[in-house]
Amino acid sequence: MNLEHLCQQTCQIVTNTANFIRAELGKVKTNDIETKALNSLVSYVDKQAEIQLVAGLKEILPDSTFLTEEETVVQEEGEYRWIIDPLDGTTNFLHQIPTFAVSVGLQHHGETIIGVVYEVNQQECFYAWKAGGAFLNGQPITVSQTAVMQDALVATGLPYYDYKWVDPYLETLKYTMFNTRGIRRIGAAAVDLAYVACGRFDVFFEYSLCAWDMAAGAFLIQEAGGKVSDFQGGENYLFGKELVAGNALLFEEMAKVVKGNFYPVA
């Protein structure tokens, strides 16, 4: 299989869906919005975007299966499985705050081999294929070379429905407030991760994420020379609902802080 070619095909499908989302900005009415869970919103735009993605991806890889946020298709495991967030940052989209993205990852026997994150408003397509490096609109990208935490810009997502770890989260936030250049919360984890991959952010941490939030972005970081793990330092981040990520120079320090706060030694 030619992963580079498949990645380029994926980028085109994602771009088409992003164009649809951009065209719908500002058109969603209040009665078009559903609440799936506490502070978790969805509209016809999310669902139609997912339907478009599934149709296009099924065409280029007919025997593939899907794990998708809106479950518009049967959720199955398989040799090749797409992991899709059709609109990451739905709340931003509905409030017309311009940071939201399409996120698509492809796994082969559980290993991510392609990742695409398309930030809709900036029309920035971040993409990578296994052992091929990472790119933004055709140009190679790498994680930052920031070597001192005091110079780091940190990305995170504030808890908005799952508050079980608020205290360790706030302790970690306190550390970053006192020891870094600053903190940003833009409301779309896929974009946060893409920004780590291209060096705009230096480190990232968040809990209560889903696989579709992370699959593409975490892979971008790895292909761009960065590191990712769950909060205990392991590899169960996609389905463990927690992720710490960063450039190779700062990752260990940030991962140690996160682990110490969330999983302290008894």
Domain ranges of the chain: 3-140, 149-262
pTM for the full predicted model: 0.96
Instruction: Round to whole Å and give the CA distance between 32 and 11.
Output: 28
Does domain 3-140 correspond to CATH entry 3.40.50.1100? Answer: no
Q: Are 82 and 175 in contact (CB under 8 A)?
A: no
Q: CB count, 10 Å around CB of 80?
A: 18
Q: Do domains 3-140 and 149-262 have the same CATH topology?
A: no
Q: Tally DSSP H helices, then E strands, for the chain.
A: 7, 14
**Confidence band for 55, pLDDT divided at 50, 70 and 90:** very high
Mean pLDDT, residues 33-59:
87
Q: What is the dihedral of CA 16, 197, 206, 264, to 10 degrees?
A: 160
Class of domain 149-262: alpha beta
Higher pLDDT, 218 or 266: 218
**Confidence band for 39, pLDDT divided at 50, 70 and 90:** low
State the residue for tokens 């940190």.
154
Q: Are 35 and 137 in contact (CB under 8 A)?
A: no
Residue 204 has pLDDT above 90, yes or no: yes
pLDDT, one tens digit per residue, over 133-187 is 999 999 999 999 999 999 999 999 998 888 999 999 999 999 999 999 999 999 9
Strand, coil or helix: what is 160?
A: coil
Residue 37 has pLDDT above 70, yes or no: no
State the residue for tokens 């997912």.
50
Q: What angle do CA 147, 114, 102 make, to 5 degrees?
A: 85
Instruction: Round to whole Å and give the CA distance between 244 and 131.
Output: 22
Mean pLDDT, residues 259-263:
98
Mean pLDDT, residues 16-21:
98
